[in-house]
Amino acid sequence: MKITLITLLLLTTLLQSTDLSQYINKQNCSQIIDKQVFTICYDYKAKGAMYVSYTLDGTKVNAGNINKRSKFYTEKNLPNKYRSHNKDYTHSGYDRGHLANDASFDYDEKIVVKTYTMANIIPQAPNVNQKTWIKAEELERSVAASLGSVNVLNGVVYGSNPLRIGKNQIAVPDGYWKMIYNDDKDYKKCFYYENTNDIDVKEDKLKSHLVDCSTLPQIDRY
Protein backbone atom coordinates (compact mmCIF):
# COMPACT_ATOMS: atom_id res chain seq x y z
CA MET A 1 0.00 0.00 0.00
CA LYS A 2 1.35 3.39 -0.98
CA ILE A 3 1.42 5.90 1.87
CA THR A 4 1.50 9.51 0.75
CA LEU A 5 3.05 12.41 2.63
CA ILE A 6 -0.43 13.82 3.27
CA THR A 7 -1.54 10.52 4.81
CA LEU A 8 1.50 10.51 7.10
CA LEU A 9 0.80 14.06 8.19
CA LEU A 10 -2.81 13.20 8.94
CA LEU A 11 -1.79 10.15 10.96
CA THR A 12 0.76 12.18 12.91
CA THR A 13 -1.86 14.83 13.69
CA LEU A 14 -4.29 12.19 14.93
CA LEU A 15 -1.66 10.58 17.13
CA GLN A 16 -0.69 13.93 18.66
CA SER A 17 -4.24 15.21 19.17
CA THR A 18 -5.62 15.37 22.69
CA ASP A 19 -8.45 12.93 23.36
CA LEU A 20 -10.72 14.30 26.11
CA SER A 21 -12.64 11.03 26.23
CA GLN A 22 -9.54 9.48 27.79
CA TYR A 23 -10.34 11.52 30.89
CA ILE A 24 -14.03 12.43 30.85
CA ASN A 25 -16.01 9.24 30.34
CA LYS A 26 -18.58 7.10 32.15
CA GLN A 27 -15.89 4.85 33.59
CA ASN A 28 -13.95 7.68 35.25
CA CYS A 29 -16.91 9.85 36.20
CA SER A 30 -19.73 9.01 38.59
CA GLN A 31 -21.65 11.79 36.84
CA ILE A 32 -20.87 14.16 33.98
CA ILE A 33 -22.30 17.64 34.50
CA ASP A 34 -22.69 19.91 31.48
CA LYS A 35 -22.54 23.57 32.54
CA GLN A 36 -22.64 24.69 28.87
CA VAL A 37 -19.36 26.60 28.98
CA PHE A 38 -17.51 23.88 30.89
CA THR A 39 -17.91 20.19 31.69
CA ILE A 40 -17.42 18.56 35.10
CA CYS A 41 -16.46 14.94 35.65
CA TYR A 42 -17.75 14.43 39.20
CA ASP A 43 -16.77 11.68 41.61
CA TYR A 44 -19.31 10.55 44.20
CA LYS A 45 -16.66 8.99 46.45
CA ALA A 46 -14.65 12.20 46.72
CA LYS A 47 -17.74 14.41 46.60
CA GLY A 48 -15.78 16.56 44.22
CA ALA A 49 -14.60 16.91 40.65
CA MET A 50 -12.09 14.61 38.99
CA TYR A 51 -11.82 16.71 35.83
CA VAL A 52 -13.14 19.99 34.50
CA SER A 53 -12.71 20.92 30.84
CA TYR A 54 -13.50 23.99 28.74
CA THR A 55 -12.52 26.00 25.69
CA LEU A 56 -11.65 29.69 25.94
CA ASP A 57 -12.37 32.17 23.16
CA GLY A 58 -9.43 34.55 22.88
CA THR A 59 -11.69 37.45 21.90
CA LYS A 60 -13.69 37.14 25.14
CA VAL A 61 -11.26 36.30 27.95
CA ASN A 62 -10.29 39.92 28.54
CA ALA A 63 -13.41 41.55 27.15
CA GLY A 64 -15.52 42.14 30.24
CA ASN A 65 -13.62 41.69 33.48
CA ILE A 66 -16.82 41.91 35.52
CA ASN A 67 -16.02 42.75 39.13
CA LYS A 68 -19.24 41.46 40.65
CA ARG A 69 -18.92 37.89 41.87
CA SER A 70 -21.62 35.35 42.66
CA LYS A 71 -22.19 33.41 45.87
CA PHE A 72 -21.24 29.75 45.94
CA TYR A 73 -24.21 27.46 45.39
CA THR A 74 -24.95 23.75 45.75
CA GLU A 75 -25.14 21.78 42.48
CA LYS A 76 -28.76 20.61 42.25
CA ASN A 77 -28.01 18.23 39.37
CA LEU A 78 -26.26 15.95 41.86
CA PRO A 79 -28.02 13.50 44.22
CA ASN A 80 -28.32 15.04 47.69
CA LYS A 81 -25.98 12.60 49.42
CA TYR A 82 -23.10 13.34 47.03
CA ARG A 83 -23.26 17.13 47.09
CA SER A 84 -20.71 19.43 48.66
CA HIS A 85 -21.88 22.59 50.40
CA ASN A 86 -20.39 26.01 51.05
CA LYS A 87 -20.46 25.43 54.83
CA ASP A 88 -18.28 22.33 54.49
CA TYR A 89 -15.32 24.67 54.02
CA THR A 90 -15.95 26.91 57.04
CA HIS A 91 -12.98 26.81 59.47
CA SER A 92 -11.49 23.92 57.46
CA GLY A 93 -8.22 25.69 56.66
CA TYR A 94 -8.86 25.26 52.94
CA ASP A 95 -10.02 27.73 50.31
CA ARG A 96 -12.92 27.13 47.96
CA GLY A 97 -10.77 26.65 44.88
CA HIS A 98 -12.18 26.97 41.37
CA LEU A 99 -11.24 24.50 38.64
CA ALA A 100 -13.02 26.42 35.87
CA ASN A 101 -11.85 29.75 37.25
CA ASP A 102 -14.16 32.74 37.36
CA ALA A 103 -11.66 35.18 35.84
CA SER A 104 -11.62 33.22 32.57
CA PHE A 105 -15.39 33.60 32.25
CA ASP A 106 -16.01 37.08 33.62
CA TYR A 107 -17.04 38.50 30.26
CA ASP A 108 -20.71 37.68 30.99
CA GLU A 109 -22.58 37.86 34.32
CA LYS A 110 -24.76 34.81 33.61
CA ILE A 111 -21.76 32.72 32.58
CA VAL A 112 -19.43 33.64 35.45
CA VAL A 113 -22.16 32.57 37.92
CA LYS A 114 -21.85 29.01 36.59
CA THR A 115 -18.28 28.75 37.91
CA TYR A 116 -19.58 29.14 41.48
CA THR A 117 -21.29 25.76 41.57
CA MET A 118 -19.78 23.74 44.43
CA ALA A 119 -19.28 20.89 41.94
CA ASN A 120 -16.55 23.06 40.37
CA ILE A 121 -14.89 23.73 43.72
CA ILE A 122 -12.21 21.69 45.50
CA PRO A 123 -10.39 22.25 48.82
CA GLN A 124 -7.23 24.16 47.94
CA ALA A 125 -4.42 25.25 50.22
CA PRO A 126 -4.68 29.06 50.53
CA ASN A 127 -1.12 29.74 49.32
CA VAL A 128 -1.71 27.68 46.19
CA ASN A 129 -5.18 29.01 45.45
CA GLN A 130 -4.35 32.66 46.04
CA LYS A 131 -0.71 32.88 44.99
CA THR A 132 0.59 30.10 42.73
CA TRP A 133 -2.25 28.25 40.90
CA ILE A 134 -3.47 31.65 39.75
CA LYS A 135 -0.38 31.94 37.53
CA ALA A 136 -1.50 28.94 35.48
CA GLU A 137 -4.97 30.47 35.23
CA GLU A 138 -3.46 33.70 33.92
CA LEU A 139 -1.45 31.74 31.36
CA GLU A 140 -4.54 30.03 29.90
CA ARG A 141 -6.11 33.44 29.22
CA SER A 142 -2.89 34.78 27.73
CA VAL A 143 -2.55 31.77 25.42
CA ALA A 144 -6.21 32.03 24.38
CA ALA A 145 -5.73 35.67 23.44
CA SER A 146 -2.52 34.87 21.55
CA LEU A 147 -3.72 31.79 19.64
CA GLY A 148 -7.37 32.79 19.22
CA SER A 149 -8.64 29.95 21.40
CA VAL A 150 -7.33 27.38 23.83
CA ASN A 151 -8.59 24.20 25.46
CA VAL A 152 -8.11 23.60 29.17
CA LEU A 153 -8.36 20.37 31.13
CA ASN A 154 -8.03 20.45 34.91
CA GLY A 155 -7.40 17.20 36.79
CA VAL A 156 -7.58 16.44 40.51
CA VAL A 157 -5.37 13.92 42.32
CA TYR A 158 -6.89 12.24 45.38
CA GLY A 159 -4.94 9.97 47.71
CA SER A 160 -6.08 6.46 48.65
CA ASN A 161 -7.30 7.68 52.05
CA PRO A 162 -7.78 11.44 51.72
CA LEU A 163 -8.33 13.91 54.52
CA ARG A 164 -11.98 14.98 54.57
CA ILE A 165 -13.60 18.23 55.65
CA GLY A 166 -17.04 19.42 56.67
CA LYS A 167 -20.27 17.73 57.61
CA ASN A 168 -20.45 16.14 54.16
CA GLN A 169 -16.89 14.80 54.30
CA ILE A 170 -15.42 16.39 51.19
CA ALA A 171 -12.15 14.76 50.09
CA VAL A 172 -9.06 16.98 50.13
CA PRO A 173 -6.85 16.42 47.04
CA ASP A 174 -3.14 15.65 47.23
CA GLY A 175 -2.69 17.86 44.18
CA TYR A 176 -4.12 18.98 40.86
CA TRP A 177 -2.99 19.75 37.35
CA LYS A 178 -3.84 21.92 34.39
CA MET A 179 -3.39 21.04 30.72
CA ILE A 180 -3.49 24.00 28.33
CA TYR A 181 -3.56 23.03 24.68
CA ASN A 182 -4.42 23.92 21.10
CA ASP A 183 -3.68 20.94 18.87
CA ASP A 184 -4.17 22.94 15.67
CA LYS A 185 -1.42 25.35 16.74
CA ASP A 186 0.79 22.57 18.13
CA TYR A 187 0.66 24.02 21.64
CA LYS A 188 0.44 21.97 24.83
CA LYS A 189 1.71 22.62 28.33
CA CYS A 190 0.87 20.90 31.61
CA PHE A 191 1.38 22.04 35.18
CA TYR A 192 1.14 20.09 38.43
CA TYR A 193 0.65 21.55 41.92
CA GLU A 194 0.87 19.87 45.30
CA ASN A 195 -1.99 20.89 47.57
CA THR A 196 0.10 22.34 50.37
CA ASN A 197 0.71 25.66 52.11
CA ASP A 198 4.36 24.70 52.51
CA ILE A 199 5.52 26.72 49.55
CA ASP A 200 7.61 29.87 49.19
CA VAL A 201 5.16 32.03 47.28
CA LYS A 202 7.75 34.73 46.59
CA GLU A 203 10.17 32.29 44.97
CA ASP A 204 7.57 30.10 43.26
CA LYS A 205 7.72 30.16 39.47
CA LEU A 206 5.19 28.83 36.99
CA LYS A 207 7.90 26.88 35.15
CA SER A 208 8.72 24.95 38.33
CA HIS A 209 5.30 23.26 38.03
CA LEU A 210 5.75 22.30 34.37
CA VAL A 211 5.42 18.53 33.84
CA ASP A 212 5.41 16.08 30.94
CA CYS A 213 1.79 15.85 29.80
CA SER A 214 2.21 12.14 29.04
CA THR A 215 2.55 11.44 32.78
CA LEU A 216 -0.87 12.86 33.67
CA PRO A 217 -2.97 9.70 33.04
CA GLN A 218 -0.71 7.89 35.55
CA ILE A 219 -1.01 10.42 38.39
CA ASP A 220 -4.71 11.23 38.36
CA ARG A 221 -6.10 7.96 39.76
CA TYR A 222 -6.93 7.25 43.40
- If you average pLDDT over residues 5-20, what whole number do you get? 55
Residue 220 has pLDDT above 70, yes or no: no
- pLDDT tens-digit readout, 70-98: 899 999 999 999 999 999 999 999 999 99
190: Cβ contacts below 8 Å, ≥ 6 apart? 177, 178, 179, 180, 210, 211, 212, 213, 216
Kindly give the pairing relationship between strand 170-171 and strand 187-194. unpaired
Question: In total, how many domains does the chain have?
Answer: 1
Whether the CB-CB separation of 46 and 139 falls below 8 Å is answered with no
Least confident of 6-20, 34-48, 88-102, 175-189: 6-20
pTM: 0.90
Least confident of 105-114, 122-131, 211-220: 211-220
φ, ψ (nearest 5 deg) of residue 77: -75, -10
Tell me the C-alpha distance between 77 and 34, whole Å: 10
Among 154, 137, 139, 196, smallest CA distance to 48 is for 154
Whether the CB-CB separation of 114 and 67 falls below 8 Å is answered with no
Read off the DSSP letter of residue 77: T
CATH value at residue 84: 3.40.570.10
Distances (CA, A) of 85 to 43, 45, 96, 152: 15, 15, 10, 25
23: Cβ contacts below 8 Å, ≥ 6 apart? 41, 50, 51, 53, 153, 155, 217, 220
Q: Is 154 helix (H, G, I), strand (E, B) or coil?
A: strand
Q: What is the CA radius of gyration of the chain?
A: 18
44: Cβ contacts below 8 Å, ≥ 6 apart? 30, 31, 79, 82
Tell me the C-alpha distance between 197 and 195, whole Å: 7
pLDDT at 136: 97
Whether the CB-CB separation of 66 and 78 falls below 8 Å is answered with no
Element (H, E) at 171: strand 170-171
| Domain around 155 | 5-219
Residue 19 has pLDDT above 70, yes or no: yes
